[in-house]
Amino acid sequence: MRFASRALAVLAAVSLLAQPASAQSVLRDAETEALLDDLAAPLVQAAGLAPGNVDIVLVGDSSINAFVAGGQAVYIHTGLLEEADTAEEVQGVIAHELGHITGGHVISSSKGIATAGKISILSMLLGVAAAVAGAGEAAMGVMMAGQQAAMGNFLAFSRVQESAADAAGAQYLSKAGISGRGSLSFFRKLQNMEFRYGMSHSDEDAYASTHPMSGDRIARLTHDYEIDPAWDKPADPALQARFERVKAKLAGYIQEPAQTLRQYPETDTSAPARYARAYAFHKQAMMDKSLAETDALLKSAPDDPYYLELEGQVLLESGRPDDAIPPLRKATALTGNQPLIASLFGHALLATEDKTHYPEAEDVLKAAVQRDRLNPFAWYQLGVIYAAQGDMPRARLASAEQQVMSGQYLEALRSAQAATAGLPENTPDWLRAQDIVFEARGALERDKKRK
Encode pLDDT of 201-234 as tens digits: 444 443 334 455 666 778 788 888 888 898 999 9
Task: State the DSSP H helix or E strand holding residue 441, giving kind and residue range, or none if neither.
Answer: helix 428-450
- Rounded to an integer, what distance in angstroms lies between the CA atom of residue 223 and that of residue 67? 26
- Rounded to an integer, what distance in angstroms lies between the CA atom of residue 114 and that of residue 93? 27
- Rounded to an integer, what distance in angstroms lies between the CA atom of residue 311 and that of residue 248? 16
State the angle between helix axes of 30-46 and 339-351 in degrees (0 to 180), rounded to the nearest 10.
170
- Rounded to an integer, what distance in angstroms lies between the CA atom of residue 114 and that of residue 254? 38
Q: Which pLDDT score is estimated for 104?
A: 79
**DSSP secondary structure of 366-387:** HHHHHH-S--HHHHHHHHHHHH
Task: State the DSSP H helix or E strand holding residue 67, giving kind and residue range, or none if neither.
Answer: strand 66-68
- Rounded to an integer, what distance in angstroms lies between the CA atom of residue 328 and that of residue 448? 44
Residue 200 banded pLDDT, cuts 50, 70, 90: very low
Residue 139 banded pLDDT, cuts 50, 70, 90: very low
Q: Which pLDDT score is estimated for 158?
A: 64
Q: Which of 106, 104, 142 is nearest to 125 (CA)?
A: 142
Strand, coil or helix: 234: coil
Q: Please check the confidence at residue 42 and state whether its pLDDT lies above 90.
A: yes
Sequence-ordered list of residues with C-beta below 8 angstroms from that of 81, at least 6 positions apart, any chain: 58, 90, 246, 247, 250
**Contact of 194 with 211, CB cutoff 8 Å:** no
Residue 417 banded pLDDT, cuts 50, 70, 90: very high
Q: Which of 137-141, 193-197, 224-228, 241-245 has the lowest mean pLDDT?
A: 137-141
- Rounded to an integer, what distance in angstroms lies between the CA atom of residue 270 and that of residue 277? 11
Report the alpha-carbon angle 279-285-288, nearest 5.
80
Q: Give me the chain's average pLDDT, please.
A: 81
Q: Which of 86-90, 135-139, 237-241 has the lowest mean pLDDT?
A: 135-139
Alpha-helical (H) ranges within 133-213 are 136-176, 181-196, 203-207
Q: Which of 30-34, 83-87, 197-201, 446-450 has the lowest mean pLDDT?
A: 197-201
Q: Which of 266-270, 295-299, 374-378 has the lowest mean pLDDT?
A: 374-378
Model pLDDT for residues 11-36, shown as the tens digit of each residue: 233 333 334 443 458 889 999 999 99
Residue 198 banded pLDDT, cuts 50, 70, 90: low
Model pLDDT for residues 321-359, shown as the tens digit of each residue: 999 999 999 999 999 999 999 999 999 999 999 999 999
- Rounded to an integer, what distance in angstroms lies between the CA atom of residue 334 and that of residue 445? 45
- Based on its alpha-carbon atoms, the radius of gyration of the chain, rounded to whole angstroms, reads 26
**Contact of 315 with 322, CB cutoff 8 Å:** no
Sign of CA dihedral 55, 226, 215, 187: negative
**Contact of 385 with 363, CB cutoff 8 Å:** no
**Contact of 358 with 350, CB cutoff 8 Å:** yes
Domains and CATH numbers, the chain: 2-226 (3.30.2010.10), 391-451 (no CATH)
Mean pLDDT of 168-183: 92
Residue 26 backbone phi and psi in degrees, to 5: -95, 125
**Of 104 and 266, more confident:** 266
Residue 26 is given by DSSP the state E
Model pLDDT for residues 421-433, shown as the tens digit of each residue: 999 999 999 999 9
% pLDDT > 70, the chain: 78
**Of 360 and 51, more confident:** 360
Q: Which of 189, 181, 182 is nearest to 215 (CA)?
A: 189
- Rounded to an integer, what distance in angstroms lies between the CA atom of residue 383 and that of residue 402? 9
Sequence-ordered list of residues with C-beta below 8 angstroms from that of 380, at least 6 positions apart, any chain: 398, 399, 402
Q: Which pLDDT score is estimated for 6?
A: 28
Q: Which pLDDT score is estimated for 178?
A: 95
Residue 303 backbone phi and psi in degrees, to 5: -110, 20
Q: Please check the confidence at residue 269 and state whether its pLDDT lies above 70.
A: yes
Burial annotation 178-215 (CB, 10 A radius, 16+ → b, else e): bbbbbbbbbbebbbeebeeeebeeeeebbebbbbbbbb
Q: Which of 7-11, 121-125, 207-211 has the lowest mean pLDDT?
A: 7-11
**Contact of 376 with 402, CB cutoff 8 Å:** yes
Residue 429 backbone phi and psi in degrees, to 5: -65, -40
Residue 245 banded pLDDT, cuts 50, 70, 90: very high
- Rounded to an integer, what distance in angstroms lies between the CA atom of residue 202 and that of residue 198? 11
Mean pLDDT of 63-89: 89
